[in-house]
Amino acid sequence: MKKWITGLPLLWTSILLLTVKTYIVSKYVFDLDIESFTQDMILFLSAMCSSLILLGLPLLVSKQHQFRLLISIYLFATVVLYLNVLYYRFFNDFITIPVLFQSKNLSNLWTSLVELKNPLDLFMFFDVGLVIILYKLKQNRELQVLNKRKFLIVTIGIFLVSLTLAHSERPELLTRSFDRKLLVKNLGVYTYQVYDFILYSNTKRRIAFADNDKLTEIVNYVNANREKPNENLFGKAKGKNIFLISLESTQDFVINREINGLEITPFLNQLINEQGSYYFSNFYHQTGQGKTSDSEFIVENSLYGLPRGAVFFSNPENKYNSLTNYLKHDSGYYTAVFHANNKSFWNRDVMYDSIGYDRFFSDQDYWISEENSIGWGLKDDHFFTQSIPLLKQLPQPFFAKFITLTNHFPFSLGLQDEFIPEWDSKDGTVNRYFTTVRYQDEALKTFFEQLKAENMYENSVFILYGDHYGISENHNTAMGQFLNKTITPYEYIELQKVPLIFHFPTKNDTRTITTVAGQIDLKPTIMNLLGIEGQEDIQFGSDLFSEEKNEFVILRDGSVITSNYVATGNKCYIRETGQETDLSECQSLLLKAKKELSYSDRVIYGDLLKFLPDFYDNK
């Protein structure tokens, strides 16, 4: 046995082990929807090609350093693969270079990582040990089993075959940087990481070479699609205090639903039916990898988040015509953020300066102990209660944004804080989700009662919205059980709805509005309510209350929702029935979505808003 092992060529054995491991993980962990033998072959060849390139690099150094470099690269590749596995388990997505630069957030991610790990993960590192053992047992410890020229020819040959098959399977593959699953499926996880690095480098280059000549096409598009806001509501909220409350990981499917005969969100259900409440039942989050920070960015700027990473990290020093800046400079509002978390998380301490906030109340402004915190930090009821005296210090009128925390993955909560018991499916994440949503709901109820007691309720407008999904498609089985339906791609898009409630304490009517809309529409809506026009600005959203409102929502992955259709994953569905129809019926919608996302990306990548004043002065 030992003689057989020592006879194995070290380099080729290492390449084979890494290839097989990468292929198995890519196919069975990443859920890439392999639908044919050709796609399966592409996946295997991409794994082999990456292994050949990576593990062939030691051939370029002297023999005495070859194995040390080989095992270092092998371990690095394994760590990259494993980090993607952890990230994919929750976000159903792949790590990008900007995400890796968010290392300052890792201390806050510990509870999530503990939840995501699996004892079987140890097997991902088992082959690293095998390679080391094989090296120790060999008498001839050279890596080479054939000359470098032949190795290069083999590598190039497999690379060309893999790339040709990928291109035939998906033409214009490299133009779809927003579809990371498609890129990994056809390029492989390691090649994708290199491609992402190239995109990131290109992003930095665009900023360096941007100028106002890039604006004309974008401004013309925005003006051509501009919709007339609701004139009857123009300025109706001016002078009132504005509460913008971001509800962590809250999806709309919990509204007006029960488990075990108990309401999941009794306070929100009640608020929706109170006088002065406007509930949008077809409102979608539009976030990407930036999650909560993406939702903040979209709401503040009426621009889309980026296809990779988070704007809060990649472009925090850009010029932004944010909602907050308009409120400060056009309406004299004092602006503040309340979030009982580390101020550097999501790079908020830097980004909030660019957005224009006067004050950020972070974890340093709250009393946080082991008893009043769980998971990611201060419990929501303590957060709201401790925020009351801070609110009373603010000059009026003020714009106050609150970001809740307790309803965050892994949705942990002590028994003493449970208002409803966990659900009883086989999916612990989904089971616990209902308890933390219910806890958040009760904290909101208490907050509203406290505001009324402090006479801070009547002269205010409240806007409550879900920031992003809490339950990813990795939990479709349990969600299908809860909703009593199969979670098709169409149904999963419908699950991207998040609640949106405008509450005006002094108004008398109550409405449920079914208009298809998204987070990108919040900035122009709030501006209209406060009497701010913002005509010389780039905004891709429009007033939610507009009588001309175009029901057209773009998600960050390129999916589109209208009043008639849902287009996602190269499939087109009739929205009313969920039945699949011919893709050609959605083709024009998808093309428009691609163009609009591209325009928004150009604005951010090139920091183009800084050129707007000169652009309009020269017209």
Higher pLDDT, 465 or 45: 465
Region 461-471: what's the mean pLDDT? Answer: 96
pLDDT in tens, 339-370: 998 887 787 888 998 999 999 999 999 999 98
71 and 154 co-located in one domain: yes
Q: Does 33 score more than 80 pLDDT? A: no
Region 275-290: what's the mean pLDDT? Answer: 95
| Number of domains making up the chain | 2
- Catalytic annotation, pick one of 96, 203, 292, 568: 292
CB of 5 within 8 A of CB of 42? no
Residue 441 lies in a domain: yes
CA distance linking residue 386 with residue 382, whole number of Å: 6
Region 104-124: what's the mean pLDDT? Answer: 61
- Of the chain, the percentage scoring pLDDT greater than 90 comes to 55
Q: Is 292 a catalytic residue?
A: yes
Burial class (CB in 10 A: 0-12, 13-18, 19+), 150: exposed
CB of 266 within 8 A of CB of 441? yes
| Cα separation values, 218 from 164, 320, 600, Å | 35, 16, 8
Residue 574 lies in a domain: no
393 and 359 co-located in one domain: yes
How large is the C-alpha radius of gyration of the chain?
26
Asked which of 176, 207, 238 is the last residue of a domain, the reply is: 207
Residue 582 lies in a domain: no
What are phi and psi for residue 141, nearest 5 degrees? Answer: -100, 20
Region 505-510: what's the mean pLDDT? Answer: 92
Region 284-301: what's the mean pLDDT? Answer: 95
Q: State both tokens at 573.
A: 């569905």
CA distance linking residue 288 with residue 353, whole number of Å: 22
- C-beta atoms surrounding 27 within 10 Å: 17
DSSP 300-321: HHS----SSS-HHHHSTTS---
Write out the residue range of the structural domain in which residue 317 sits. 225-559
467 and 551 co-located in one domain: yes
Q: Which letter does DSSP use for residue 540 in this model?
A: S
66 and 94 co-located in one domain: yes
Give start and end residues of each alpha helix (H) in 37-109: 37-56, 63-91, 97-100
DSSP 160-221: HHHHHHHHHHSTTGGG-TT-HHHHHHHH-HHHHHHHHHHHHHHHHHHHHH--GGGHHHHHHH
pLDDT band at 3 (very low <50, low <70, confident <90, very high): very low
403 and 257 co-located in one domain: yes
Residue 178: the pLDDT is 47
CA distance linking residue 360 with residue 378, whole number of Å: 16
Which CATH number is 520's domain given?
A: 3.40.720.10
- C-beta atoms surrounding 492 within 10 Å: 18
172 and 238 co-located in one domain: no
190 and 307 co-located in one domain: no
Model pTM greater than 0.85?
no
Region 589-599: what's the mean pLDDT? Answer: 96
CA distance linking residue 190 with residue 174, whole number of Å: 15
Q: State both tokens at 97.
A: 């270079």
User: Which residues are CB-neighbours of 265 under 8 A, at least 6 positions away?
Assistant: 254, 255, 256, 257, 437, 438, 441
Q: Does 155 score more than 50 pLDDT? A: yes
Higher pLDDT, 456 or 112: 456
300 and 257 co-located in one domain: yes
What are phi and psi for residue 277, nearest 5 degrees? Answer: -105, 135
Average pLDDT, the chain: 87
CA distance linking residue 473 with residue 93, whole number of Å: 11
CA distance linking residue 617 with residue 619, whole number of Å: 6
Sign of the alpha-carbon torsion through 182, 187, 188, 190: negative
CB of 417 within 8 A of CB of 438? no
